[in-house]
């Protein structure tokens, strides 16, 4: 039987086979619950996420989708509806009221809360591309990706261990991704964890949106996951010039990074890393 310890972690009994012996013991797993995002009372999407930093997640998601450009484009955001069998609020529905300043290429006016024609469901395994093509994304980008102060290779290879050392939920469950912003000196900012890699990134960028830090031109984005198209998309939309991934990139992620001028680094470990695009932002990489 699942026993919530918090909304981030849940205790569950398991039968473990180790060294040829079965034993019974409790284990901790990552919390995963649906979050419905509404605009003006109308459902936009449902994402499976680890509860926590939900408002930041919504800011990051709406920014990546081109529905907001800054925190001021949201006039109100509140939990609503969403009750369990005992009538208690589940805090799994957030309703957003957009400000008149908010604009969307597929909406009419923000004040009338007309949302894009598409609504979609996302899971913790896959993100949502706001456009069907790289060309469409480039039309929606608000910032030109400027060159960062070049990162030293020694700084980059230290990042996975620095990220892992601060992943509290991962240490407990082993089942969440993490993302953070990184300064050229290796300092990590706005570290967030989630069962969905795209949710973790939305929480990081959403935190920056709410702190009025966009464009994020002086820092890189670090993720514990692979580098997919949607993660490059989210970075580029926020003005981030470098994405460092612990795992591999996809082919479309590499193509998008090249087209937008983003530095894409993958397979990052203490032993080294691969630069797939934008090598100029890494010291000593010319050649």
Q: Is 129 a catalytic residue?
A: no
Contact present, 35 and 181 (Cβ < 8 Å)? no
How large is the average pLDDT for residues 187-199?
96
Does the predicted TM-score (pTM) go above 0.75?
yes
**How many other C-beta atoms are found inside a 10 Å radius of the C-beta of residue 211?**
12
Q: 91 vs 24, which has greater pLDDT?
A: 24
Per-residue pLDDT tens digits for 146-183: 888 899 999 999 999 999 999 988 888 888 999 999 99
Pseudo-torsion of CA 169, 225, 61, 173, nearest 10°? Answer: -20
Q: Is residue 45 over pLDDT 80?
A: yes
Provide the domain count of the chain.
2
Residues 83 and 41 in one domain: yes
CATH, residue 188: 3.40.140.10
Residue-level pLDDT at 152: 97
Residues 110 and 52 in one domain: yes
- CB neighbours of 263 closer than 8 A, spacing ≥ 6? 148, 220, 241, 242, 243, 257, 275, 277, 278, 279, 280, 281, 282
- Quote the domain boundaries for residue 70: 33-133
Contact present, 130 and 119 (Cβ < 8 Å)? no
Residue 133: band (very low, low, confident or very high) from pLDDT cuts 50, 70, 90: low
Catalytic residue among 80, 126, 165, 270: 126
Exposure string for 274-283, b = 16+ CB within 10 A, e = fewer: ebbbbeebbe
CATH, residue 127: 3.10.20.10
The verdict on residue 222 lying in a domain is yes
Q: DSSP string of 105-141? A: TT-S-GGGTPPPS--EE-BTTB---SSSSHHHHHHH-
Q: 99, 133, 167: which is the final residue of a domain?
A: 133
Residue-level pLDDT at 7: 81
Residue-level pLDDT at 35: 95
204 is written with which tokens?
Answer: 């990081």
Residues 104 and 45 in one domain: yes
Q: 133, 166, 183: which is the final residue of a domain?
A: 133
The verdict on residue 147 lying in a domain is no
Q: Is residue 113 over pLDDT 60?
A: no
């Amino acid at each position: 039987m699942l026993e919530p310890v918090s909304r981030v972690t849940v205790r569950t009994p398991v039968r473990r086979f180790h060294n040829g012996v079965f034993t019974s013991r409790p284990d901790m797993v990552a919390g995963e619950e649906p979050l419905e995002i509404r605009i003006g009372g109308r459902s936009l999407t449902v994402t499976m996420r680890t509860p926590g930093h939900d408002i930041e997640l919504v800011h990051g998601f709406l920014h990546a989708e081109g529905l907001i450009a800054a925190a001021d484009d949201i006039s109100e955001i509140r939990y609503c509806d969403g009750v369990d069998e005992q009538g208690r609020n589940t805090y799994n529905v957030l309703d957003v009221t957009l400000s008149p300043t908010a604009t969307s290429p597929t909406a009419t006016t923000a004040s009338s809360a007309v949302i894009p024609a598409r609504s979609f469901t996302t899971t913790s395994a896959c993100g949502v591309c706001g456009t069907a093509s790289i060309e469409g994304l480039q039309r929606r980008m608000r910032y030109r990706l400027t060159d960062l102060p070049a990162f030293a290779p020694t700084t980059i290879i230290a990042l996975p261990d620095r990220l892992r050392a601060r992943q509290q939920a991962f240490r407990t469950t082993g089942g969440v991704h993490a993302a953070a912003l990184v300064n050229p000196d290796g300092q990590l900012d706005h570290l967030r964890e989630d069962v969905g890699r795209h949710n973790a990134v939305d929480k990081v960028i959403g935190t920056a949106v709410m702190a009025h830090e966009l464009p994020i031109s002086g820092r890189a984005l670090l993720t514990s996951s692979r580098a997919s198209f949607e993660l490059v998309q989210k970075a580029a939309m926020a003005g981030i010039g470098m994405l460092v991934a612990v795992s591999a990139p996809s082919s479309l992620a590499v193509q998008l990074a090249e087209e937008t001028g983003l530095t894409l680094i993958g397979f990052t470990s203490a032993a080294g890393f691969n630069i797939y695009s934008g090598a100029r932002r890494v010291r000593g990489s010319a050649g």
